[in-house]
Every structure is written in C-alpha cells, then in structure tokens.
Chain A
C-alpha cells in the first residue's frame, strides 16, 4: 500500500523567505507525482506535475524535485509572499491502477 507523508505539517515564515516542503512515499512504483495547492474550504489547484522519468519541474517561483529511488520529492517556493499562504498537498499516481495517493499536506503561513 502506498503511503505518502509530508513534513512539516505546518510552517510559518516571514515574507521573502524561501520555503522548502518535503514529501516522501513508500512505494517507488509511481507514474508521476503532483504538487497541489488548497486554500481553506476550496478544491485543489495543480501546481507542478513531475513524470517518474523526470528529476524536476519548474514554474515561476516554484521548483519541485523528484528522487524516485529514495521515495522523496521537495517543493521549493522562492521569495515567499503572503499570497502563498495555503495548504500544499503532494500526491503520487500509482503505476498499477493510476489512482492518486495523497499526503496530509503542509499548511504554510507567510507573515507580512
């Protein structure tokens, strides 16, 4: 069974600081890995998707890395802003059935 863990569960930083969010998964048989953003009481917004054959993806201030063999991914957010405050979820697509397994998320607060 695929288990996805995100550490830390919560993070508070001053504006301008870089953010580092961690995700680990137990089964390396993944098709891809996604990072999502979730605002309170809202659905999910996809931020980055990394295929299993890729090492990283970048979009603006966001960069995500993937080390499939060690079961880890890291999301970096550069120069954080108060608008980055949200919960960030990591999810892996399982290779056997293409279903998503989610972590519990990291709740980020960026202080102005």
Chain B
C-alpha cells in the first residue's frame, strides 16, 4: 500500500517552455503533498507544501510564480515549472501524506527535468 506515482519520469524541453509534473497517490487519500528538488550529490530541498483545496505554502527562496502548485483533489497534485530555463534543470520529487501531521511521507519516483 501507500503508492505514489509521479509522471513524467523524464522531460527534455527547450528554454521558455512550461512543464507540468503530476503526483498521484494511488491507494490512499493524500491530505498533504510535498514537492522537493534535488541537485546532483545534494540533499533533497523542500520547495513547497500543498494541502488539498488550499494554496500551497512555499519555502523561503522558492518563487511561487515560477513553480505553480495545484492540489485540486485528495489524490493529485501538480507542479508546473513556468518559462523554464537551464538553471531549472534538476530532479523533482513529490511525496504524499495521508491523515495526521505525524504520518510518514510516501515518495514518488521523481522527474528528471532537463532544459536545453
């Protein structure tokens, strides 16, 4: 149980393109979803937290107009990287948590984003 599906697994696109990444909880209701970014050989950095039906909360230094997050249902959250540039190239990972704050997060397989 507790499976999180992330799609696509890899994206290569031109600079200026907007890219949407989906994160789905397949067998549980995710009241909260998290979006992380990981640079090579570095730790996962939390970008934002989204709760179903409300606006996402962004971590300090993360541009909310650049990284649009939508959590319209209890099983789906999307991250849209708007007008992507080469410096946005990274590995993006989502996680989902059901129920109370102290429940564990379940992670997707990540999306490798490469902007040319």
- A-side residues, CB < 8 A to B, are 4, 9, 31, 34, 36, 41-46, 49, 89, 91, 93, 98-100, 102-105, 107
The complex places the Cα of A34 from the Cα of B106 at a distance, in Å, of 12
* Contact (Cβ within 8 A) B49 A42: no
A99 B49 Cβ-Cβ under 8 A: yes
A47 to chain B, nearest CB (A): 12
Other A-B pairs beyond A34-B104, A99-B34, 14, CB < 8 Å: A4-B43, A31-B102, A42-B110, A43-B110, A89-B44, A91-B44, A93-B102, A98-B101, A100-B34, A100-B105, A102-B43, A102-B44, A105-B41, A107-B41
A43 with B93, Cβ < 8 A, contacts A31-B102, A99-B49 known? yes
User: What is B's interface to A at a CB cutoff of 8 Å?
Assistant: 6, 34, 41-46, 49, 91, 93, 95, 101-102, 104-110, 112
A41: which of B95, B101, B110 is its contact (CB, 8 Å)?
B110
Residues of B contacting A4 in the complex (Cβ-Cβ under 8 angstroms): 43
Total number of residue pairs linking A and B with CB closer than 8 Å: 48
A100: nearest chain-B partner, CB-CB: B105
B43 and A43: CB pair below 8 A? no
Cβ contacts under 8 Å, A104 to chain B? 41-43
Give chain B residues whose Cβ lies under 8 Å from the Cβ of A46: 104, 106-107
